[in-house]
Structure 1
Amino acid sequence: MELQQMRYVVAVAETNSFTRAAERCLVVQSALSHQIARLEKELGARLFERTSRRVCLTPAGEAFLPAARQCLDAAERAAAEVAAAVGEVRGRLAVGLIPTVTAVDIPGALRDFRERYPHVRIRLRVGASDDLVEQVKEGAIDVAFLGLPTTARPRGVAAHELARDRLVAVVAPDHPLAGEPEVDLRRLSSEVFVDLPAGTAGRAQSDVAFEAAGLSRDVAFEVTSADFIARLVGPGLAVAMLPRAYAPQLAGVVTIEVADAPARAEYVIWSRFTRTPAATAFLTALDITATES
């Protein structure tokens, strides 16, 4: 069993196509197919069901895929550790983030990091804070940037608090509140809201604040992306509450200070147990000591 064969299996599984997998791996399709057939013969089981319309994993393939990915990751980490031992940072850096990160200029940080470590391949994943924490625990992401209510803290990972920020109300330009310098939660509770899905950390910031004030609100629209919130607020479908530092990035809406607004804390997190040389270098570039927790 060879690492290259595992790479071919992963590529086919991710593209659902022998043709696209061969293109990704920069080999002719016949060579890729031959190597997978050899591996299947060695394993004594077919890894893929092939039809004229699609390619999909068999139960044996489903069982093989996670182990293959782990082997490839381990091989890549080994090469990166050797490179680091001789003073060169290589390998892959997987960075996760929520869309509303403002404490760190992510594009700027990645630009500076890339200039210093050009041999590191960088992969970005955007998601919800809770999901990012789990992916860091599982090793799927090396470093993640997230936001939580100030009453919470990331668990099971190493964490460094970057900043705290209050939420502001976001309304349409022609909304009756648009000309107000400040509102409070009681006044907002009579509005129709758009927010992130219930149960997410981004949603909890507002939910906890309204509940603590003894108020309820109508969240008629749930979206998974903060960027899309403004597209519902702008036409007057709903109002929203978003971090003050993030709100100026939105077009076609008006922001209003909230007297009793909830706050959130932004964190950068990483694994408490394993850390690649690239992850260590990235944290160092952010002036964060990787021994913090």
Structure 2
Amino acid sequence: MDIDDELTLKKIQIFLAFMRCGNLSRTAAEMQMSNVSIHKAIHSLENALRCPLFKHEGRSLIPLKSAYILEEYSQKLMQDLVTSINKTREAAGFAAKVLHLGSLYSLTVNTIPNVISRLKLRRGELDIQLLLSSNLDLVKKLKSTELDAIIVALNETTEDVDFETLPIFEDNIYLAVNKNLPLAQMQKIDLSTLKHETFLTLSKGFATRSDSDVMFEKAGINPEVFLQVSDIFTLISMVNAGVGLALLPGRISTIYESSVKLIPLQAPYQIKQKIGLVFLRSKERDPNLLALVAECRMFAKQYLNT
């Protein structure tokens, strides 16, 4: 059976509202339409169905048996439609019950716990799955939709026409040294004087590794790299053990603060990391992402005021 073009979901919604409200005036108020428009929609629905739904008693419309049958099945239809829309949006990652969030290891010291705890207060039903990795790896996973959003360093890896970015804060890069070393007495350090020191670094793909390479190049040195590691906590623990020096962001200053000192670098070797939220532009209206954006903005304001 072909469905008449005049049979629309809007008319079904108006019909259901009329059956619920019982008269034209209350239905018009609920649907924010005029009485005349409600009456025309119901009459048009009868034409599309090719059967009467109501009998006229004065100005009143009295439902026939056909109206009650249509009401019963239309309610099921609307419920199934809402379910199908929600399932479709969930499959596409919109308003899903799970938010797949990616971040850098170093941001778990303060930023990520703050943002996630506030997001859970805002959307308590949301299950947040956190993946920690390098800047480059997280960007790739966001691009392939394995992640819904990432909080990372904003650099050349995040420059993509498909991405929306929200800057959150900036962080300085410091020289991390064991406090027992003579270098720990310095208030500022000239990176170019450390040509013969042993350095520890993160693996390629991490934002801090990229920034370190830029800083070494500016200083005109090819550092002797004793060890490369895949997370910043291992790196700073190695500095704590006196294995070598490292260039690290200030946000990890509370780790081993009694035994590791972060020394500011002299110009022109100073560099700032821009940390921000990144997500696909195609998902910018997703309620979960809108909530995450709001909490990242709140954290950014809080960060500026500290």
Give the AA of the match of 1:233.
V
In 1: Cα distance, 2:120 partner to 2:220 partner: 49
Aligned CA RMSD, in angstroms, stands at 2.7
Q: What's the counterpart of residue 285 of structure 1?
A: 295
- Relative distance call for 1:189 and 1:102 in structure 2 (3 A) is farther
1:254 aligns with 2:261: yes
Q: What's the counterpart of residue 203 of structure 1?
A: 209
In 1: Cα distance, 2:112 partner to 2:263 partner: 26
5+ residue gaps in structure 2? 1-84, 299-306
- 2:97–2:125 contact (8 Å) kept in structure 1: yes
- For the residue of structure 1 that corresponds to 2:143, the secondary structure is helix
In 2: Cα distance, 1:234 partner to 1:287 partner: 34
Percent identical: 23
Give the AA of the match of 1:262.
I
Post-superposition Cα deviations, 1:176-202, rounded to whole Å, max 9, x if no partner, equal: 201111111112332111111135332
- 1:129–1:202 contact (8 Å) kept in structure 2: no
Give the AA of the match of 2:282.
F
Match of 1:223 among 225, 229, 235: 229
- 1:101–1:266 contact (8 Å) kept in structure 2: no
- For the residue of structure 2 that corresponds to 1:108, the secondary structure is helix
- 1:173–1:253 contact (8 Å) kept in structure 2: yes
- 1:194–1:238 contact (8 Å) kept in structure 2: yes
Match of 1:93 among 93, 99, 108: 99
Give the AA of the match of 1:257.
P
1:1-293 to structure 2, matched below 5 A, reads 76=87, 78=89, 91-101=97-107, 105-148=111-154, 153-155=158-160, 156-251=162-257, 252-259=259-266, 260-275=269-284, 276-287=286-297
- For the residue of structure 1 that corresponds to 2:216, the secondary structure is helix
In 2: Cα distance, 1:104 partner to 1:284 partner: 17
Give the AA of the match of 2:263.
I
Shift of residue 173, structure 1, vs aligned partner: 1.7
TM-score, normalising length: structure 1:
0.64
5+ residue gaps in structure 1? 1-73, 289-293
**Larger proportion of helix:** 2
Question: How many residue pairs get matched?
Answer: 208
Highest CA radius of gyration, 1 or 2?
2
